[in-house]
Amino acid sequence: MRILWLKTELLHPIDKGGKIRTYQMLKELKKNHHITYLTLDDGAADADALEKAGEYAHEIITIPHRTAAKFSAKFYLELTNNLVSKLPYALQKYVSAEMRNAIEKLTGEKKYDVVVCDFLTPAVNLPLNLNAATLLFQHNVEAMIWRRHYEIAAGAPKKALMKMQWRRMFEYEKESCRRFDWVAAVSKEDAETMRGDYGIENVSDVPTGVDTEFFAPGGTIEKDEFNLVFTGSMDWMPNEDAILWFTEEILPLVRRQIPQISLTVVGRNPFPKLVEASKKDQAIVVTGRVPDVRPFMEKASVYIVPIRIGGGTRLKIYEAMAMELPIVSTKIGAEGLPLRDGAEILLRDTPDKFAEAVVKLLKDKSFAGKIGEQAAQTVREKFGWQKVADDFAQLCEQAIEVRRPNR
């Protein structure tokens, strides 16, 4: 197949879940299919990101595009102007006439079998009529994320804003899902949600994968028996909410029973409130972006996923499983993953139950080891990236079959 892959960022540094999933999948797809990667470029990627893009695509095309920095004057101006837009702000900021023109030119000049929109964001620039099949790759149900933001928002103004963004996202996501020949979700739950909420039939799920050779204990780092670790981009709102909830409501409960407890938060762009908390509490270590998360994971005794907002699936959980770490997560944090509570993971949704599970794993090393070993065995047997890419290629073929009668 000849695939035109649409994105809103270059992939290096590969430092968040969506980038990891796309990178690993494209690397496998590139072995058997021709990939043209067309993306917006905000200048934030690594200096060698364009050069390294050859790892996952045969042809790279970038469109310069600047978005406002969060909390900047321009950000607040754009947010104010967005009040009269039909698009949610999370999508409005990626509108690019240059990208739309590039898509029209490429699909007019070259023969592509399928155009893939990676996340909902590039879809705002997709022309209505293309001479190729189209597939929307949904890493999350975006409206679900915004609905959960609305549900937990504190204060009337913020709640009203989140409700507005949720409703706009819902309407746009429904419209977009209906215009694509096929939709790829990352879990059965997400596929069912889109089928029910958006009235679409051509939707299937592809599994989440992990590089089990890369994520494996090295055996050279001594564990801290009272250290917890969380990994993830700290400029993503669900991760920000998760760590605030954990540090404010759960960590104090753990500390009552284990005074020596420490928490390491690993991920790019830590938000100011977390940085301030780490200055006041030496037991909270905030690393910011790191070249390799594995040493921090290997040092820890328990991996936490206190996520209350989100959809899709958590690559971080499979990575922790491959590192043989026992995991405590909320049900939302592990949503869409075929894992068994009490076997590969512990699922707890309230502060007291979450804290109780963390304490259990820290104090009962035999139990923690059993959870970690079962998790590693499961992920190594079932979730390699080659299978994921093969499944995705089949969905592209299905999109082509749906499109063919209309050509």
User: All domains of the chain, ordered by start, with CATH?
Assistant: 2-206+385-406 (3.40.50.2000), 227-382 (3.40.50.2000)
Is the pLDDT score of 404 beyond 80?
no
pLDDT score, position 406 = 54
Q: What is the dihedral of CA 204, 206, 208, 211, to 10 degrees?
A: -170
Q: Are 338 and 289 in contact (CB under 8 A)?
A: no
Q: Amino acid letter at 22?
A: T
pLDDT score, position 312 = 57
State percent of the chain over pLDDT 70: 98
Q: Are 396 and 174 in contact (CB under 8 A)?
A: no
pLDDT score, position 313 = 59
For the stretch 106-135, pLDDT in tens is 999 888 999 999 999 999 999 988 989 999
Give the residue-averaged pLDDT of 195-219: 91
pLDDT score, position 145 = 87
State percent of the chain over pLDDT 90: 75
For the stretch 234-286, pLDDT in tens is 988 889 999 999 999 999 999 999 999 999 999 999 999 999 999 999 999 99
> What backbone phi and psi angles, to 5 degrees, belong to 398?
-65, -40
**Predicted confidence band of residue 405 (pLDDT cuts 50, 70, 90):** low
pLDDT score, position 311 = 64
For the stretch 23-64, pLDDT in tens is 999 999 999 999 999 999 999 899 999 999 999 999 999 999
Is the pLDDT score of 407 beyond 60?
no
In the block, tokens 């090393």 appear at 365
pLDDT score, position 338 = 87
For the stretch 64-102, pLDDT in tens is 999 888 878 888 888 888 888 889 999 999 999 999 999
pLDDT score, position 82 = 86
Question: Could you give the CA distance from residue 72 to residue 76 in angstroms, rounded to a whole number?
Answer: 7
Pairs from 316-321 (Cβ < 8 Å, separation ≥ 24): 316/17, 316/231, 316/232, 317/345, 318/208, 318/209, 318/210, 318/215, 318/379, 318/383, 319/210, 319/215, 319/231, 319/293, 320/231, 320/375, 321/210, 321/345, 321/375, 321/376, 321/378, 321/379
Nearest CA-CA partner of 385 in 56, 34, 138, 26: 26
Global pTM reads 0.76
For the stretch 332-346, pLDDT in tens is 999 888 899 999 999
pLDDT score, position 134 = 97
pLDDT score, position 337 = 86
In whole numbers, what is the pLDDT of the chain averaged over residues?
93
What are the structure tokens assigned to 186, written together? 């990352």
Is the pLDDT score of 352 beyond 70?
yes
